[in-house]
Every structure is written in C-alpha cells, then in structure tokens.
C-alpha cells in the first residue's frame, strides 16, 4: 500500500513485483544520470562566453553521441521487454482464482478443486462501518491466496471494463466483458495487499477496492476444500427425485458407455499387438540389423584371423597392422589428390558444421549474459523462491490427497 510522502514504488510482494522494483531502480539510475549529464552541459553552454567560433566538426564526437544513446536505449529496453514477457508466462499453476468485475464490486471464484465452484462477492466497507483498517481500501470478504505457490489469476467482467490491480505485486489486468485475461501470481509472503479498480467504470469506480489476503498453503488449502465440500453438500441435496424413466435412461447410458469402453480397449489392444509384435520387429530387422550384422561378423572374423596370426608370428602381424593403417592414410591422401572436388565438399561441409556449432554456442553464451543482466535479484533469492515453491507445491498436493482420502 502507498504511504504518505512515499517516493518510488511500493515494496514488492510477489516474485515479479520484486523484479519490477529492480527494473524501476535501474531505469531511474540511468535516467537521472543522463538527465544530470545533459543538464550540466546545457547550463554550461548557455552560461559560457566561450563560443566556439572556429569549431567546424568532430567525427569522433558525432560517433559517440550516436552510439551512446543507442546503448542506453538497449540497456533500458531489453530488461523491460524480458520482464513483460515473463509476466505473461503462466506455466503450470497449482491453483486458480477468478476475479469478475461488476458495477461496483468484485466476485471471486475458486473452481479448480473438486469440480465445484465456490464464489463470493467482495464489497468495500463504507466509512460508517469501518472499524480500524484503511479507508476506501478495506472490503468485507478478502480474496484469499496462498503465498509462495504458483497461481493463475483469471480476470473478466460482467458489465463494463474494469481492471484488477495490485501495485505492490505488479499485477494489473483488464477485466473485459466476454473474454478472460490471465496473469501469473506468486506472492512472496503472508500479508494483506491492496489495490483499486484501475479502469474508469462508472460513478462508483473509486469504491470497488481489491484486497488480497495471502496466507500459508496449509491454511489456504484446508479453507478452500472446506468451502468446496459445503458447496457440494448443498448440490447433493437437490437431486433426490426418482422415476422409472430416469432409471431407464441411466441404464441405457451405462450400457452404451461400457460398450464404447470395451470396444475402444479392444481396438487399442489390437493396435498395440500389431505395432509391437509385427511392425516394429520387421522394421528393425529389415532396416538395421542386416547391415550391422554383416559388418560385425566381417570385422570379428578379420580381427580373429589377425589375432591367430599374431600368436604364430607376432613380428609379421605387427608389420601388417602398421602397413594396413599406413595404407588407410595413403588412401585418404589419394582421395584428396584424385577427387579434389569431393574432398573440398567434405572439408567445406565440416567447416560449415563447425561454424554453425560455434554460432549456437555463442548464442547460448549471449543468452546467459542477457539472463544475468536482466534479472534484478540475486541467486540466493532465486534459490529461496524455487525451494519454497517446490515445498509448497508438495504440501498443497499432499493436503488435497489427504483430504480426498479422509473426506
């Protein structure tokens, strides 16, 4: 949350929030440096009586003031682009929350556990009811999220365009009616994080705050499963009517499903039987084993013969081996002399392959350098996040498994 007389961004509360904060500091450093440098010389030139009347040109100066801004722009742009893409990357989240904007409140939906949909509305607490807490930011039902777990946020709207934003976590997603936008979230620690609707949506636009409460994975998982169980229990009660027609439909459906299941299993069985017992062995025998077998037999026989010869007369056999190797080398020389075109092609293709390999190697080095350049957090932070997220993922799955078993 922003505080009075605060300069700069809020303290980062998510993995990418910290990175964005780093980018901000880094950009401000470059910008202030450039601004003060240019400002100083501007003032100096304006206030100076020494005007260069005889000064005509300087190639070096022009070169420098062309190249230098280019490098500064690159240094500002590359980390920014990388972060932009990282923020869009939602790979394998463990849990999903869906925020639906309304005029003028938010609805939060949790629907990826147990196939039920648990949802609630989140209204701002008016001044008259506020007991402590922050004015215009506190809500009646907070959006609960786990800390240090990969999360996906889906944002949409029911009426006009809203925007779901939490500045300290670098989250801002438009909620557009008729479409769903997604964002990745990974909160660093437990806490309460505030934001406000960030797209003008009508008269009460300022009074639909976003309040996210980040809790530990254990609390979150048990809480969400409890709520889902309640929703499911409510759903079970409704469906208790029984008719002959319903029974008939259910029986026909079950029979159809089992016929389909048995048929598809049978087809799959035949397919794999054919594939592994006929196609693969035949293919293997025809394409590979014949050549390999021939070569193996020939070379084994030759080597066996030579060993026999070596045991009878070692000197002669060694001499022959030397002659044989020399002959091969000579053959290579003859190949170069008699068919130079082929030899050149062989050499050039070798060199080309070498260049390609060198290129890909240099690219990976460049990529590694860029990676280290554009991450504003150190390795210990990365390690901490990776370790905790892995641990929490295991905890999350373990609790779900445990609860499924024991109800």
Strand (E) or helix (H) holding 106 = strand 105-110
The DSSP code sequence of 107-158 is EEEE-SSTT--EEEEEPBPPGGG--SS-TTT-BSS-EEEEBSS-EEEEEEES
| 165 touching Cu ion, by CB under 5 A | no
Cβ distance to Cu ion smaller for residue 203 or 341: 203
Cβ distance to Cu ion smaller for residue 162 or 403: 162
Q: Among 201, 217, 224, 225, indicate the residue that binds Cu ion (CB under 5 A).
A: 201
Under rule CB under 5 A, how many of the chain's residues touch Cu ion?
A: 3
Cβ distance to Cu ion smaller for residue 99 or 148: 99
Handedness of CA 21, 26, 31, 36 (dihedral sign): positive
Which parts of 123-271 are beta strand (E)? 143-146, 151-157, 162-166, 171-175, 181-185, 191-196, 209-215
Among residue numbers 69 through 98, which ones bind Cu ion (CB under 5 A)? none
Virtual torsion, Cα 74, 76, 82, 84, nearest 10 deg: -130
Stretch that binds Cu ion, among 25-33, 68-76, 159-167, 310-318 (CB under 5 A): 159-167
Which residues, other chains included, contact 20 with Cβ-Cβ below 8 Å and sequence gap of 6+?
Answer: 9, 12, 83, 170
Among residue numbers 212 through 251, which ones bind Cu ion (CB under 5 A)? none
Q: Among 100, 124, 197, 217, indicate the residue that binds Cu ion (CB under 5 A).
A: 197
Stretch that binds Cu ion, among 193-201, 214-222, 290-298, 320-328 (CB under 5 A): 193-201
In DSSP terms, 119 is beta-bridged to: 109
Cβ distance to Cu ion smaller for residue 46 or 203: 203
Least Cβ distance, residue 193 to Cu ion (angstroms) = 18
Stretch that binds Cu ion, among 68-76, 91-99, 140-148, 194-202 (CB under 5 A): 194-202
Cβ distance to Cu ion smaller for residue 139 or 201: 201
Least Cβ distance, residue 104 to Cu ion (angstroms) = 6
Tokens of 48: 């100076």
Among residue numbers 360 through 389, which ones bind Cu ion (CB under 5 A)? none
| 102 touching Cu ion, by CB under 5 A | no
In DSSP terms, 94 is beta-bridged to: none
What are the backbone angles phi and psi of residue 173, rounded to the nearest 5°? Answer: -130, 130
Stretch that binds Cu ion, among 155-163, 176-184, 234-242, 316-324 (CB under 5 A): 155-163
Asked if 13 contacts 189 with a C-beta cutoff of 8 angstroms, the reply is yes
Asked if 185 contacts 153 with a C-beta cutoff of 8 angstroms, the reply is yes
Asked if 301 contacts 308 with a C-beta cutoff of 8 angstroms, the reply is no
Asked if 154 contacts 3 with a C-beta cutoff of 8 angstroms, the reply is no
| 162 touching Cu ion, by CB under 5 A | yes
The DSSP output letter for 275 is I
Q: Tell me how far apart the alpha carbons of residues 108 and 116 are, in angstroms, rounded to a whole number.
A: 14
Among residue numbers 319 through 358, which ones bind Cu ion (CB under 5 A)? none
Cβ distance to Cu ion smaller for residue 198 or 222: 198
Stretch that binds Cu ion, among 116-124, 156-164, 233-241, 279-287 (CB under 5 A): 156-164
Residues engaged in binding Cu ion (CB under 5 A):
162, 197, 201
């Amino acid at each position: 949350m922003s505080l009075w007389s605060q300069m700069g961004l809020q303290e980062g509360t998510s993995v990418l929030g910290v990175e964005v904060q780093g980018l901000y500091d880094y950009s401000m450093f470059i910008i202030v440096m450039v601004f003060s440098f240019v400002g100083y010389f501007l003032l100096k030139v304006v206030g100076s009586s020494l005007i260069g009347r005889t000064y005509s040109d300087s190639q070096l100066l022009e070169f420098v003031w062309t190249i230098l801004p280019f490098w500064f722009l690159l240094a500002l742009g590359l980390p920014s682009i990388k972060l932009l893409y990282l923020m869009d990357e939602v790979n394998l989240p463990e849990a999903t929350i869906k925020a639906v904007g309304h005029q003028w409140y938010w609805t939060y939906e949790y629907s990826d556990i147990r196939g039920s949909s648990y949802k609630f509305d989140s209204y701002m607490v008016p001044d008259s009811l506020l007991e402590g807490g922050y004015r215009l930011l506190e809500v009646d039902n907070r959006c609960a999220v786990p800390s240090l777990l990969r999360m996906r946020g889906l944002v949409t709207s029911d009426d006009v365009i809203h925007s779901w934003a939490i500045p300290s976590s670098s989250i801002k997603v438009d909620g557009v009616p008729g479409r769903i936008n997604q964002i990745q979230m990974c909160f660093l620690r437990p806490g309460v994080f505030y934001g406000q609707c960030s797209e003008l949506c009508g008269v009460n636009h300022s009074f639909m705050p976003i309040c996210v409460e980040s809790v530990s994975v254990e609390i979150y998982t048990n809480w969400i499963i409890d709520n889902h169980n309640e929703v499911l229990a409510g759903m079970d009660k409704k469906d208790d009517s029984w008719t002959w027609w319903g029974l008939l439909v259910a029986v026909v459906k079950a029979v159809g499903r089992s016929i389909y299941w048995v048929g598809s299993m049978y087809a799959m069985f035949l397919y794999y039987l054919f594939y592994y017992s006929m196609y693969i062995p035949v293919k293997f025998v025809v394409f590979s084993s014949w050549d390999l077998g021939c070569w193996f037999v020939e070379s084994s026989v030759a080597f066996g013969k030579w060993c026999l010869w070596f045991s009878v007369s070692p000197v002669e056999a060694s001499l022959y081996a030397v002659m044989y190797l020399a002959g091969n080398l000579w053959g290579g020389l003859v190949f170069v002399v008699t068919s130079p075109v082929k030899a050149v092609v062989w050499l050039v293709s070798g060199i080309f392959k070498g260049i390609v390999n060198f290129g890909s190697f240099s690219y990976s080095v460049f990529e590694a350098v860029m990676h280290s350049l554009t991450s504003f957090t150190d390795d210990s932070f990365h390690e901490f996040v990776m370790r905790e997220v892995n641990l929490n993922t295991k905890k999350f799955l373990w609790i779900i498994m445990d609860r499924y078993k024991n109800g």
